[in-house]
């Protein structure tokens, strides 16, 4: 029987893990404070496992090093490579002796980790075929084969059919050489092109193989913890009910994996999956990871109705297309019990939306959706991206001015990150806009410099906007919704317990709510942080915060 080992590298580079930046969430272990690691369920591998088991005799195991890092009580390694080698050298994995090892690399933050895992596996399992798939291998195969001799092949796009073909092949090396969905060194040298091998009807993929996970390990996702609106953050299960996205947003590269044509699971199939998740796994919250959940509005309406019928919570992690959210749809969302929406506005400048991002959105729609959500009692989390090539300081100021006019619950201010495969990445490469180590960057560290701004300017501006919009100008506080505002500030304190502005404005809420003990507690903590930190003293002066009584 074929023995397959899937491995998920950490979604964080080593330096960011051991030296988290001031504006990042830190996790405290016995050995110190470390960067927070995302622990979303690897649904691509769950889909692969289910599909392979349906069509072939295989045994499949999975290691998610994000879970490994989160569960460790202390971290005493000088590198991730050292951790990988010690972990994979354990008797459990040596005895398992996989003959195919597949590394899933979605983001460039896992680039070096993927290479280190491949090198470790080559030493420990010399006879195994070592492959990799995901966004990074699909778009960075030249760099990967340049930097590593340990990978036999890379999958181009989705992996279900290519990997099944590899497993069933009588001569696997020959299959890798001839199948156009597998990238090899020889094909690159011969300047061959590569092709997607999509599953058109997603119902051909069985119910995700959640059985290869310890689902309890994913029970409290750091992603969910950042959202104050969710009361039930445990028992979250990720799923994608569709693949593809027809839009051409300049910062997105997901089309290189799933294509631009929309493909769907049937509504009946989605309903059966939800029922099974609830009955077999105790799922309470569904985390949708569709790139374009609203691609078919009627279908989206029916799926939302199903979650309401099953009394399940909903989290749209990738955000929803605002132009699809008319009043009728928002009322349906509210009636389904959904209390919070992530909205991918991306910019408060119509020029940036149209000319740079190529995003099908007008700010008049944003105003209407936010107002409707506020009226219906739906909390809104707004994603904003600044620092794109072609954007100017005036565009960013226009974004700032616009965002101050809408009553969103919370704003997520991210710095533009050049995802490999995106139009933005190509523009940055062509114009030499990338500075520093952009391979391992994420949406927190600015690495783009243009004729209009420096990376340092964007980094500082993003943090300033975060403080101004979420704390100084917090909509709930401004509108007198002090309990809601306090919930947001306390959630920030939970995530980052040295956040001076969170304590300051939490104290102001407590004053309004006549919570005297809490007011005193938060006031004292704020004053201590301000006294000890030049960083926070500077921001206190810049925003002219009045001393607490």
Which letter does DSSP use for residue 469 in this model? I
Q: Which burial class, exposed, middle or buried, applies to 243 when counting CB atoms under 10 A from its CB (0-12, 13-18, 19+)?
A: buried
pLDDT digits (tens, 9 = 90+) for 110-147: 999 999 999 999 999 999 999 999 999 999 999 999 99
Write phi, then psi, for 486 (nearest 5 degrees): -60, -40
Is 226's pLDDT higher than 80? no
CATH number at 2-189 = 3.40.50.280
What average pLDDT does this structure show over 433-455? 85
End-to-end CA distance of the chain: 72
CA distances (Å), 504 to each of 481, 519, 532, 538, in order?
A: 17, 9, 15, 15
Sign of CA pseudo-dihedral 428, 136, 141, 15: positive
Pairing of strands 263-264, 340-346: unpaired
Is 189's pLDDT higher than 90? yes
pLDDT digits (tens, 9 = 90+) for 337-361: 898 999 999 999 999 999 999 998 9
- Which pLDDT score is estimated for 432? 95
Among residues 149, 260, 277, which one has the least CA distance to residue 209? 277
Under 8 Å between Cβ of 260 and 269: no
Taking the C-alpha atoms of residue 462 and residue 468, their distance in angstroms, rounded to an integer, is: 10
Q: Which fold has domain 475-549?
A: 1.25.40
Is 194's pLDDT higher than 60? yes
Q: Which residue has the tokens 């306390």?
A: 490
Q: How many C-beta atoms lie closer than 10 Å to residue 169's C-beta?
A: 14
Under 8 Å between Cβ of 288 and 264: no
Which band of pLDDT confidence, cut at 50, 70 and 90, is reported for residue 225?
low
- Which pLDDT score is estimated for 153? 98
Helix (H, G, I), strand (E, B) or coil at 102: strand
Is 435's pLDDT higher than 90? no
What average pLDDT does this structure show over 141-162? 97
Which letter does DSSP use for residue 352 in this model? I
Q: How many C-beta atoms lie closer than 10 Å to residue 94's C-beta?
A: 11
- Which pLDDT score is estimated for 121? 98
Sheet holding 379-386, edge to edge: 340-346, 379-386, 410-415
pLDDT digits (tens, 9 = 90+) for 12-22: 989 989 988 77
Under 8 Å between Cβ of 390 and 428: no
C-alpha angle 359/362/367, rounded to 5°? 130
The mean predicted confidence, pLDDT, of the chain is 93
Bridge partners of 38, per DSSP, are: none
pLDDT digits (tens, 9 = 90+) for 244-285: 999 999 999 999 999 999 999 999 999 999 999 999 999 999
- Which pLDDT score is estimated for 234? 59
- Which pLDDT score is estimated for 30? 87
Among residues 316, 325, 327, which one has the least CA distance to residue 239? 316
Q: Which residue has the tokens 């005895």?
A: 95
- Which pLDDT score is estimated for 32? 86
- Which pLDDT score is estimated for 396? 98
Which band of pLDDT confidence, cut at 50, 70 and 90, is reported for residue 436?
confident
pLDDT > 70: what percent of the chain? 97
Find the range with the poorest average confidence among 163-167, 332-336, 404-408: 332-336
pLDDT digits (tens, 9 = 90+) for 401-423: 999 999 999 999 999 988 889 99
Bridge partners of 7, per DSSP, are: 63, 103
Angle between helices 534-542 and 500-512 (to 10 degrees): 50
- Which pLDDT score is estimated for 220? 59
Rg (alpha carbons) of the chain, rounded to whole number: 24
pTM of the model: 0.93
Write phi, then psi, for 100 (nearest 5 degrees): -135, 130
- Which pLDDT score is estimated for 29? 87
Is 430's pLDDT higher than 80? yes
- Which pLDDT score is estimated for 176? 96
Taking the C-alpha atoms of residue 336 and residue 306, their distance in angstroms, rounded to an integer, is: 9
pLDDT > 90: what percent of the chain? 84
Under 8 Å between Cβ of 155 and 196: no
Write phi, then psi, for 314 (nearest 5 degrees): -135, 140
CATH second-level architecture of 219-473? Alpha-Beta Barrel (3.20)
Which letter does DSSP use for residue 549 in this model? -
Write phi, then psi, for 413 (nearest 5 degrees): -95, 110
- Which pLDDT score is estimated for 319? 82
Q: Where along the chain do its domains lie? A: 2-189, 219-473, 475-549
Count of CA atoms in the C-beta half-sphere (13 A) of 11: 20
How do the residues of the chain divide into helix, strand and coil, expressed in percent and rounded to 5? Answer: 50, 15, 35
């Amino acid at each position: 029987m074929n023995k397959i080992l899937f491995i998920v590298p950490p979604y964080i580079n080593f330096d960011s893990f051991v030296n988290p930046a001031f504006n990042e969430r830190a996790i405290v272990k016995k050995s110190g404070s470390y960067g927070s690691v995302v622990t979303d369920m690897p649904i691509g591998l769950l889909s692969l496992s289910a599909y392979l088991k349906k069509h072939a005799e295989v045994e499949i195991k999975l290691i998610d090093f994000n879970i490994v890092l989160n569960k460790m009580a202390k971290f005493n390694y000088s590198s991730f490579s050292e951790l990988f080698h010690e972990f994979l050298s354990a008797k459990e994995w040596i005895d398992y002796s996989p003959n195919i090892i597949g590394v899933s690399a979605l983001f460039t933050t896992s680039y070096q980790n993927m290479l280190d895992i491949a090198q470790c596996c080559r030493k420990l399992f010399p006879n195994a075929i070592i492959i990799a798939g995901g966004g990074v291998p699909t778009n960075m195969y030249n760099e990967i084969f340049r930097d590593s001799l340990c990978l036999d092949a890379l999958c181009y796009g989705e992996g279900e059919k290519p990997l099944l073909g590899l497993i069933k092949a009588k001569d696997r090396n020959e299959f890798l050489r001839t199948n156009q969905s597998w990238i090899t060194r020889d094909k690159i040298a011969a300047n061959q092109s590569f092709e997607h091998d999509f599953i058109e009807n997603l119902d051909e993929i069985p119910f995700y193989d959640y059985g290869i996970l310890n689902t309890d390990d994913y029970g409290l996702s750091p992603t969910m913890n950042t959202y104050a609106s969710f009361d039930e953050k445990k028992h979250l299960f990720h799923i994608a009910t569709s693949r593809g996205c027809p839009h051409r947003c300049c910062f997105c590269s997901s089309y290189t994996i799933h294509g631009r044509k929309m493909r769907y699971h049937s509504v009946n199939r989605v309903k059966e999956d939800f029922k099974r998740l609830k009955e077999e796994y105790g799922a309470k919250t569904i985390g949708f990871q569709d790139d374009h959940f609203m691609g078919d509005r009627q279908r989206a309406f029916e799926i939302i109705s199903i979650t309401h019928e099953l009394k399940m919570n909903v989290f749209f992690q990738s955000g929803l297309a605002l132009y699809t959210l008319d009043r009728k749809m928002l009322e349906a969302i509210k009636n389904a019990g959904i209390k919070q929406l992530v909205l991918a506005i991306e910019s408060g400048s119509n020029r940036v939306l149209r000319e740079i991002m190529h995003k099908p959105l007008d700010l008049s729609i944003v105003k209407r959706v936010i107002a409707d959500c506020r009226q219906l009692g739906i909390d809104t989390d707004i994603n904003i991206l600044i620092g794109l090539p072609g954007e100017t300081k005036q565009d960013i100021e226009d974004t700032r001015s616009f965002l101050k006019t809408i009553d969103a619950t919370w704003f997520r201010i991210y710095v533009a990150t050049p995802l490999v495969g995106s139009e933005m990445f190509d523009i940055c490469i062509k114009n030499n806009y990338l500075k520093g180590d952009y391979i391992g960057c994420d949406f927190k560290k600015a690495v783009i410099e243009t004729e209009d701004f420096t990376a340092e300017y964007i980094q500082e501006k993003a943090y300033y906007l975060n403080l101004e919009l979420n704390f100084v100008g917090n909509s709930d506080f401004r509108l007198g919704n002090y309990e809601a505002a306090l919930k947001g500030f306390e959630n920030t304190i939970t995530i980052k317990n040295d956040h001076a502005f969170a304590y300051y404005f939490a104290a102001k809420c407590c004053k309004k709510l006549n919570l005297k003990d809490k007011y005193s507690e938060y006031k004292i903590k704020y004053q201590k942080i301000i006294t000890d930190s030049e960083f926070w003293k500077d921001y206190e002066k810049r925003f002219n915060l009045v001393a607490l009584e």
